[in-house]
Amino acid sequence: VSPTSTSQEIRQNYLKLSLLYHPDKNQKKVDNLSSDDSDLQTDYFIILNEAYENLKDANRRLKYDKKLNFLKKNKTEILFDSVDLDDMELNEEKMEYTYNCRCGNLFILTYQDLEFGFNQVNCEGCSLILKVDYDVLEDEE
């Protein structure tokens, strides 16, 4: 959700995502999760619930927004996670790798980013950063 989302929009997104990631509700493959990986799916569901608890309460949301604005103004980066490139979803057509952020948007790493050796990606919808681990292959001459 965006920082300007209403309580109703937050609730609607929460309900949609909770059905998607609830370990007892979803037995199908979810993005890069399989039903065999129920621990990771449960972790996503727990993170989703924590985020919703903070965003649905007006006082908690205000504190969260203030902290986020402070960090943005001071150019403080928030490292969300560190993942292997192999753990990201490859879209060959778009020539990019994606990874789901807890805000519901995506971290996107393009082929060009890889060529330049970038290993940190900003989320499209929030201020979180994902560190991507991969080996840089040297050109053979």
Q: Write the CA distances from 96 to 65, 108, 138, integer angstroms.
A: 31, 7, 20
For residues 115-136, average pLDDT:
83
pLDDT band at 63 (very low <50, low <70, confident <90, very high): confident
pTM for this one?
Answer: 0.46
Q: Which two tokens stand for residue 20?
A: 């998607």
| 112 or 40, greater pLDDT | 112
- Residue-wise pLDDT tens digits, 64-110: 787 777 666 665 567 778 899 999 999 988 889 999 988 889 999 98
- Residue-wise pLDDT tens digits, 1-37: 777 888 899 899 889 888 887 877 765 545 555 555 6
CA dihedral 37→38→44→46, nearest 10 degrees, is: -160
| 139 or 56, greater pLDDT | 56
